Amino acid sequence: MQESGGPPETADVESSSDAYAARFAGPAGEWMLSVQERILLGWAAVHSGATVLDVGGGHGQAAIPLARHGLRVTVLGSAPSCAQRIRPEVDAARLAFAAGSLVDLPYPDRAFDVVVSLRLLPHCGQWRRLIAELCRTARECVIVDYPTIQSVNALSFLLFGAKRRLEGNTRPYALFRHSEIEAEFRRHGFVRSARRPQFLLPMALHRALNRPGLSAFLEGIGRGLGLTRWLGSPVLVNMARHEG
């Protein structure tokens, strides 16, 4: 992967939109989000009452469930428009929202107990700088997700056209190796405490099936055979600050 510079990072503008949210509408989308939420809340359970910064989280997929489970969540978006999907929660003071740079976070070192960033890393040209900033502002841990090349995503360049026809608003994204992500976090004093691949089969296939029961059955087979552990994607990873 190559780091790119230049224009501001605004990938979250799309992921905070109603059009993006439509990709997770309906039974299949709700089921996929439930898989992600279950993992995220399991990790968050040990941080009861913690302060959380959700970088690029205007989609609400992490911020809303975390806030509902007692964590004090601030969402940082690259533009004021990124708050549209979470506006009711912000207006009710269940969440805080701020606009600012995603790769030059407007907060001091270790300002939050936990820093989260979902649906951003594979779309961020300055992903190394993003990771550096996530680590700088986290006191205890950083949680991110990414699609891995060690999965069916390795064929994404062949399947992209079909995926776009199915989903309508698919955008290109970067693939990562587990070792690549973890090495970058180690540079900033963080080591992996947990890693959970979410799905063995492509998310686009689950959307096309739109049958959560069947999807859960198929994914259960993959997990039972140990395939998801090695080939699953996207991956949620919890990186903990390592002192000394």
The whole-number average pLDDT for the span 109-136 is: 97
Cα distance between the two ends of the chain: 29
| pLDDT attached to residue 152 | 66
Stated pTM of the model: 0.90
| pLDDT attached to residue 157 | 47
The whole-number average pLDDT for the span 26-46 is: 95
Q: Residue 37: which of 59, 22, 5 has the closest Cα? A: 59
Over the stretch 51-105, which tens digit does the pLDDT of each residue have? 999 999 999 999 999 999 999 999 999 999 999 999 999 999 999 999 999 999 9
Q: Which amino acid is at 105?
A: L
| pLDDT attached to residue 31 | 96
pLDDT surpasses 80 at 167: no
The pairing of strands 51-55 and 72-77 is parallel
pLDDT surpasses 50 at 26: yes
**pLDDT grade for 154, boundaries at 50, 70 and 90:** low
Percent of the chain's residues with pLDDT above 90: 82
pLDDT surpasses 80 at 4: no
The whole-number average pLDDT for the span 20-46 is: 95
Contact 13, 81 (CB under 8 A): yes
pLDDT surpasses 90 at 155: no
| pLDDT attached to residue 55 | 98
- The CATH class that applies to domain 11-241 reads alpha beta
**pLDDT grade for 204, boundaries at 50, 70 and 90:** confident
| pLDDT attached to residue 160 | 46
| DSSP state for residue 93 in the 8-state scheme | T
Which tokens sit at 79? 């533009």
| pLDDT attached to residue 6 | 54
pLDDT surpasses 70 at 3: no
> Could you give the C-alpha distances from 160 to 155, 172, 231, in angstroms and in order?
9, 8, 19
Contact 119, 198 (CB under 8 A): no
**pLDDT grade for 165, boundaries at 50, 70 and 90:** low
pLDDT surpasses 70 at 161: no
**SS3 state at 186:** helix
Percent of the chain's residues with pLDDT above 70: 88
